[in-house]
Amino acid sequence: MCTVITMKAFEVKGTFKVGDRTWQKFSLQVASEDAEGAEEKVMTILGSRHRTPRRSINIEAVGEISGKQITDVVVRHQVGAKL
């Protein structure tokens, strides 16, 4: 039996530590099943791209976004949104 997973688009906003004293703001769009999965995906992305440990990432807001609000083409494809 095949299980279909419905992906939703989320926008995650927050800050992460760059260097000793500087905090950089970020806003990322990701596709996930739920808000917790979106937070996990952002932690993974920032850790990979910037070598940032999880304790240096502060997530301030996670919100579901609709198809027309999605600007990332990969996320748009993952959730199956049309233009």
pLDDT value of position 2: 67
C-alpha–C-alpha distance, residues 77 and 69, integer Å: 13
Element (H, E) at 74: helix 73-79
pLDDT value of position 80: 86
pLDDT in tens, 5-56: 789 999 999 999 998 889 999 999 999 999 999 999 999 999 999 999 999 9
pLDDT value of position 26: 97
C-alpha–C-alpha distance, residues 74 and 11, integer Å: 13
pLDDT at 75 over 70: yes
Kindly report the pTM of this predicted structure.
Answer: 0.89
pLDDT value of position 30: 97
Which residue do the tokens 């299980």 mark? Answer: 3
The length of the chain, given as a count of residues: 83
Domains delineated in the chain? 8-79 (3.10.20.10)
* DSSP state at residue 21: T
